[in-house]
Amino acid sequence: MEKEHIKVYSGTSVLVNRLSFLLDTEKIPSLIKDHVSSGNLAGFGALSNSVELFIYKSDLEKATEIIEEFKKEIAE
């Protein structure tokens, strides 16, 4: 059975890691793609908000409330 990932958030490394932690506390696994670090290793740069957070599509319903609360928290 193949699980499909979907992007749920992109931003700075600090914000993406915070949201990943919040999801992890609710037992929702996530995947972080850090284009900044990858670009630095390859010898070219990327924008500082080029970090993306993915979760399994099957976890989206469970994660939506956490993601929305997080977005409200950082908007304040």
Angle between helices 60-75 and 13-25 (to 10 degrees): 130
State which residues form the domain around 45.
5-75
The CATH code of the domain that includes 43 is: 3.30.70.1530
CB 23 within 8 A of CB 66: yes
pLDDT at residue 36 in the model: 62
- Number of compact structural domains in the chain: 1
What pTM does this model have?
Answer: 0.80
Tens digits of per-residue pLDDT, 3-22?
A: 899 999 999 889 999 999 99
pLDDT < 50: residue spans in the chain: 1, 39, 42
DSSP strand E in 2-76: where?
A: 5-11, 30-34, 51-56
Distance in angstroms (rounded) separating the CA atoms of residues 12 and 51 = 6
